[in-house]
Amino acid sequence: MSELDAGRQVDFLWLCMTDWYGHLWTDHHDEQDNGTWLRDLSDLSPAQIHRGLAAVRDEGEKYPPSLPHFRKLCLGDDAENGYYPPEIAAIREEATREYLADRAAMLTREIGHG
């Protein structure tokens, strides 16, 4: 999603949250995003943002969601099925490679000493 489209999605999110939660939203998040929500949601599609908004509406919670919770609602089943944004996926892959290399080296040492 382009930055312009992502910005429009966050503006729409802000309108919905302000409408649903009033001062509970604006007292905590101000009248507009400071860039945090835009940054952390910009990799999501408009359909995913709308999925998150529908989930918030349907949950009917007294308090608005945190950014991590909202993101999880946007991803829905995607989060449970292993979807990760590209940056996070790259970090997970590198960590997995390092872990497997360390584990293989440890097992090799154990076999050589056993």
What is the reported pLDDT for 111? Answer: 83
What does the pLDDT read at residue 15? 94
Q: φ, ψ for residue 80 (rounded to 5)?
A: -75, -25
pTM given for the model: 0.65
Write out residues in the chain with pLDDT < 70, as ranges. 1-4, 78-86, 88-89, 113-114
Mean pLDDT of the chain: 85
Alpha helices in 30-85 (DSSP H): 36-41, 46-59, 67-75, 77-80
The pLDDT, as a whole number, for residue 84 is: 62
* Cβ–Cβ under 8 Å, residues 46 and 9: yes
Contact 69, 33 (CB under 8 A): no
Q: What's residue 58's pLDDT?
A: 92
